[in-house]
Structure 1
Amino acid sequence: MKTLKNKEIYGNWATLLLATNNDGSVDYKRLNDEIDILIASSPNGIYSNGTAGEFYSQSEQEFLKVNELLALKCEKAGVPFQVGVSHMSPQISLERLKLIRHLRPGQCKLFYPTGFRLHWKKV
């Protein structure tokens, strides 16, 4: 996927909700079906791991598998996608960014924890 510029991120972006089993584990079958339904609805793009994606509760393995599935399906369908790399720990956010670089999302999203002081020269 090519990197998206700000002006290319417009319209209706679908939110990938995290499908879970009764025990709290990720239900990859339902997630797979959900991505197919979202793609069929012809959104301008799909994004994962926002607040509705339970980004804070995923293990790194789950995070990677969810986004690999999204990337595979979006690439095949030609649908742009974004990946949220947020976590309460800035170190984990950075690790998540490193984990998904090879997926080449159009953009990555990052929510900073409330009260987290940014050093703009480092950002």
Structure 2
Amino acid sequence: MKIFDHKKIIGNWATLLLTTGSNGIIDYSRLSDEIDVLIAARPNGIYCNGTAGEFYTLTEDEFDKIASLLAEKCSGADIPYQIGVSHTSPQITLNRLQRTKHLKPSAVQVILPDWFPTT
């Protein structure tokens, strides 16, 4: 995928919602179907692991699976994608960033910890 700068992240970016079964476990089959529906809508891009993707609840294995699934499907459809690498631990955020580099997302999302001063 082509890496975007802030000027190229424009338009409608669809968010990948976390799909779980009634037992609370991620349903990767439904997640895959959701990505297909989003791709068919042809947004400017798709992103995963934002707040609607419950990034703060994911294990590292779940994070890797979701990021890889999105990268595989979007790359195959030539749809730009972003991966949210945020976590409440800055060390885990950095580790997620390192682990996603090989997926070549158009961009990554980083959310500052809620205790970070705003001024």
| TM value normalised by structure 2 | 0.95
1:67 aligns with 2:67: yes
Post-superposition CA distance 1:43-94 (Å, at most 9, x none) = 0000001100000011000000001000000000000000000111101111
What SS is found at the alignment partner of 1:37? helix
Aligned length in residues: 118
Distance 2:86 2:101 in 1: 14
What stretches of structure 1 move > 4 A for 4+ residues in a row? none
Q: Residues of 2 paired with 1:114 and 1:64: CA distance?
A: 24
Which residue identity lines up with residue 9 of structure 2 in the other structure?
I
Look up the match of 2:37.
Answer: 37
Q: CA RMSD in A?
A: 1.2
Q: Which one-letter code corresponds to 1:82 in the other structure?
A: Q
- How far off its partner does 1:5 sit? 1.6
1:17 aligns to 2:46 (yes or no): no
Partner of 1:5: 5
Q: Partner of 2:7: helix, strand, or coil? A: helix
Shift, 1:102, TM fit: 0.6
1:49-68 → structure 2 map (5 Å cutoff):
49-68=49-68
- 1: CA distance between counterparts of 2:102 and 2:21? 28
> Kindly, what percent of the aligned residue pairs are identical?
56
Unmatched runs of 5 consecutive residues or more in structure 2: none
Instruction: Give the drift of 1:24.
Output: 1.6
Distance 1:8 1:22 in 2: 39
